[in-house]
Chain A
Amino acid sequence: MVSLLSVMLGLPQGDYIELHRKRHGYRHDHFERKRKKEAREVHKRSAIAQKVPPSSPVVHSFGPPGSYVFLLGFDDDYELCIHFRCTLNRCVQALGIKGKMFAKKRYAEKALMKKTLAMHEESTSRRKVDDDVQDGAVPAYLLDRENTTRAKVLSNTIKQKRKEKAGKWDVPLPKVRPVAEDEMFKVMRSGKRRTKQWKRMVTKATFVGPSFTRKPPKYERFIRPSGLRFNKAHVTHPELKATFNLEIIGVKKNPNGPMYTSLGVMTKGTIIEVNVSELGLVTPAGKVVWGKYAQVTNNPENDGCVNAVLLV
């Protein structure tokens, strides 16, 4: 039922705060109190940053005197601290996750404040510009030393590098950490006495395709669980710097081996083909592009999603 009480008693309706201010004005000390309170905020904040807030209990652990000692319980345990001969000044800090969050927030604020201050202090006066030091320039006291040129050594290293590079494609992640087989597969025991160990379950993210049907369970050697199958990838276009949620068409190459490629396992560095018809790309000839390659940039089994960067 409607609460009539407030209106029956003539209690406030509508913009009653403004109405009261209009009629009666402010308190005689309102502005002074406000100013003083705002001035006190600074001190309050630093007090919080330095002390443990009284409502949060903290774990006690002793250490040698002079080390950080965590306080147990509330402020009146300072006496306990002294008794164990630790220096009080080092004991105080806002602790735990609250302390960390506060410190992070405060740090961001301070950085911003410093930047704005610096910006304000930038003056229009001109200053002297230092010339860049030339490469190979040597200070005066090192002149007249003989430096042998290591031309041959240098050329050898260059050749080696060229050789290495030949085996690599021009992809965003040229080198990836190799994944061992026991990391990739989990052995599934089967049989009445659980002695047969020829089945393996894939523990990484996989892609199987829409027309995939399992082999009869008795004969399938590699199990790809449906919980780890992904159909979509978050693909970033490196130039547009935009990310799209695109369907995967297939796995092109897995750097860990052709077996993994045939299984469709997606690990970090795998090249996949994605459906880019959403982007509306057109070849110079005029044909619409609908599939492009992308390289996986994260560990999908750890993040629960496949992030890739488009290879343009």
Chain B
Amino acid sequence: MLIMVDSKYSNIVLGYNDELIWKHLKHLCLQTVTSEQIEHLHRRFKQLSGDQPTIRKEHFDNIPDLEFNPIRSKIVHAFFDKRNLRQESDGLADEINFEDFLTIMSYFRPIEMNMNEEQLDHFRKEKLKFLFHMYDSDHDGKITLQEYRNVVEELLSGNPHLEKESARSIADGAMMEAASICVGQMEPDQVYEGITFEDFLKMWQGIDIETKMHVRFLNMETIAQCH
């Protein structure tokens, strides 16, 4: 089985026995991904990029079904967000290669049966961090009211006749709720700046994201795992 990896190892044709590179890919937190899945993703990557080594934002326009997605821009944005790509710098990358693509996809891998508490916690935090970055568009580490409003507006943008003010009020209501969850009773003079990541974690406590946030495709081969 061959894997062609168009990345910094550009044009290297890997044999199945090339342990080092294989290990590297696996090390990208992709322990549960099999070679077939990597191959599938690679094929998809090539299809999106038009056989180029990297993908730019424009390439995502070629996906017809993505057009109808209300949070399309945020999703695309998330792929280029340097914080998600585990790079030290901040801001947006211009283009991503296959390795980065796999890194983003690794956020959507399913839960494993044999995870212990610590791993589960890390797993959950990773996913929530990804979501947090999507909400927090200005990269300041907090979700402010404006950003939250932006999210709600985008979510409801599918209904063209919905008033913008309704979306804002909804966002305000949600923000107040968040404030009450995160800070509880506030003093009259206290100001709630925005939702930090810790608060975000609290808000998602009731929802079991480990089981919800995975793409079914990545689940198929769990029976025939590589390792």
- Same complex for A and B? Answer no
Please give the residue numbers on chain A whose beta carbons come within 8 Å of chain B beta carbons, in ascending order: none
